[in-house]
Amino acid sequence: MKIVVHDTATAMLELLQLPERERPEALRDLLAPLQEAMAAAGAGGIDAVRMHRAGSGFPLEGDDPRLPSAVHRMRDAGVRDRIEACLDAAARKLAEEMPPGTRTPDTVHVLLVLGNPDDHHLTVRSSGYFGLGGFPGAIHLAIWPTGTALERIGHAAAHELHHNVRYTNVVWNPATVTVGEQVVAEGLAEAFVRDLSGEQAMCPWTIGLRGRELDDAYARITDGIDVAGMQNLTAYVHGDATAEMFGQQPVGLPDFAGYGVGLRVADAHMAASGLTAAASVALPPGEVLANAGVHSGA
């Protein structure tokens, strides 16, 4: 498995100097590996540039001085080197612990893209960063360089690499994917990051859900463990506020509840099976859930 961390900082600085009408095409070139990975996974109808605009990506219009300044701040912090180091360690651990026959992408292209400093979902709810690694062959990372984001973006890349390998082996179908699969995937990926770099490397929202709030979220999510269809999962995994942002139905859960609950499920599975998160990367969700004592139809 070859991992290529692209020099998106240079590409973004050049893009920001272009006339506005030329910026979308320059961004399309930057995001081409992601577009190719989505097409290979059967999601070629999703346009990466449109996804950038609709999500938390940096604005393509105007000349906001905060944007180039933020790119330079990322460079000064050595973000690209941090990501490469975390991914090298993650790839070695996966290679050492995955069962024989586990498939991996031939090449994983890693794209770090600046986010929108005025996007509340990114800068506040997500602590300045998040990732997308469910399409084998590409990892997309969005960042607004807060202190937390700069510190943990490399660990987020390792989390997404776990997803990349998982979905090279586990079929992900947006029509049939369940809450159980999404929660298992996030929990195993967070446990993998913890195995690599310690609890402080995990997402703040994973370790921030504790006590009675975690117990209540666990009960609600496991009750809906077989809810299917990607359009129905956001509230269970990312919480009500994110679901409402996308016009979806809330279910009474705090931000990113599925991550903390997923970690509880992953920990119970690993305790029962003796397997690590890396060794569990390709397991079907039903097996992980059964080991964790969660009843599911999967």
Domain boundary pick from 134, 149, 169: 169
Domain boundary pick from 152, 169, 186: 169
List of E strands, the chain: 2-5, 107-114, 129-132, 138-143
20-61 confidence digits (pLDDT tens): 999 999 999 999 999 999 999 888 788 999 999 988 999 999
- 157 and 215 part of one domain: no
Domain count, the chain: 2
- 59 and 163 part of one domain: yes
For the cut 90, the answer to whether the pLDDT of residue 110 exceeds it is: yes
Domain boundary pick from 111, 135, 169: 169
Which strand (E) or helix (H) includes residue 271? Answer: helix 257-273
131-165 confidence digits (pLDDT tens): 999 999 999 999 999 999 999 999 999 999 999 99
Question: In terms of Cα–Cα distance, which of 14, 26, 137, 3 is closest to 80?
Answer: 3
42: left (phi over 0), alpha (psi -120 to 50) or beta: left
- 97 and 189 part of one domain: no
Cα–Cα distance list, 271 to 169, 264, 275, 294 (Å): 23, 11, 8, 14
d(CA 258, CA 240): 11
Which strand (E) or helix (H) includes residue 12? Answer: helix 8-16
255-296 confidence digits (pLDDT tens): 999 999 999 999 999 999 999 999 999 999 999 999 999 988
Q: 125: domain range?
A: 1-169
Q: Which residues pair with 140 in a beta bridge?
A: 111, 132
- 48 and 189 part of one domain: no
- 141 and 177 part of one domain: no
For the cut 90, the answer to whether the pLDDT of residue 172 exceeds it is: no
Q: Which residues of 3-12 are buried (b: 16+ CB within 10 A; e: fewer)?
A: bebbebbebb
DSSP characters for 145-157? --HHHHHHHHHHH
Which whole number is the average pLDDT over 192-217? 95
Question: In terms of Cα–Cα distance, which of 298, 288, 232, 283 is closest to 262?
Answer: 288
For the cut 90, the answer to whether the pLDDT of residue 298 exceeds it is: no
- 61 and 89 part of one domain: yes
d(CA 213, CA 84): 35
Q: What is the pLDDT of residue 174?
A: 87
- 165 and 221 part of one domain: no
Q: Are 279 and 97 in contact (CB under 8 A)?
A: yes
- 11 and 142 part of one domain: yes
Q: What does DSSP say about strands 138-143 and 129-132: parallel, antiparallel, or unpaired?
A: antiparallel
d(CA 160, CA 139): 6
- 77 and 187 part of one domain: no
- 13 and 159 part of one domain: yes
- 64 and 79 part of one domain: yes
- 117 and 196 part of one domain: no
